[in-house]
Amino acid sequence: MLAQAVIWMNLALVFYTWAVFSGRKQGLHRKHLIIFGIGLLFDYFGTRQMSLFALTYGKAPEWHNITGIASLGGMAFHFLLALVASVANKTEAVNRVFHRVSLSIYSCWLVAFFSGAISGMMRMKA
């Protein structure tokens, strides 16, 4: 269960990083939306697996729960912003706002990702 969650979260990291930095470099395109959606889906799967693991073997630290839920919500908001821009054919107008917030949301997501990894390793050590 834990190994599967770790795989999902690492796939989320790869796809989310790819979408954020590739979209930032090339401008927001439909391919970035697809990559972004795949990253969001993997993040959801990983978060779900981690929740099941925490219910079975003990609760995760509260600060990690807060950062994890906030970052998943931020990633979903980020994806919806990209989706609206793509569907409305307003990618150029949204590009400025999208890239302005993307690094902030991505940074928050990384905090949640690494805090989970660190707290998990500390619990395994104990």
State pLDDT tens for residues 91-106.
Answer: 666 667 777 778 888 8
pLDDT band at 83, cuts 50/70/90? Answer: confident
User: How far is residue 59's CA from residue 84's CA, in Å, rounded to a whole number?
Assistant: 36
Question: Would you state the structure tokens that stand for residue 65, as one six-digit string?
Answer: 């729960």
- Give the N- to C-terminal CA distance of the chain in Å, as an integer: 19
Among residues 46, 39, 41, which one has the least CA distance to residue 20? 39
pLDDT band at 11, cuts 50/70/90? Answer: very high
Among residues 55, 45, 40, 65, which one has the least CA distance to residue 5? 45
Q: Find the domain containing 41 and state its range.
A: 2-125
Q: Percent of the chain beyond pLDDT 70?
A: 90
For the cut 90, the answer to whether the pLDDT of residue 35 exceeds it is yes
Cβ atoms < 10 Å from Cβ of 90: 12
Task: Report the number of distinct structural domains present in the chain.
Answer: 1
User: How far is residue 98's CA from residue 92's CA, in Å, rounded to a whole number?
Assistant: 10
Threshold 0.85, pTM exceeds? no
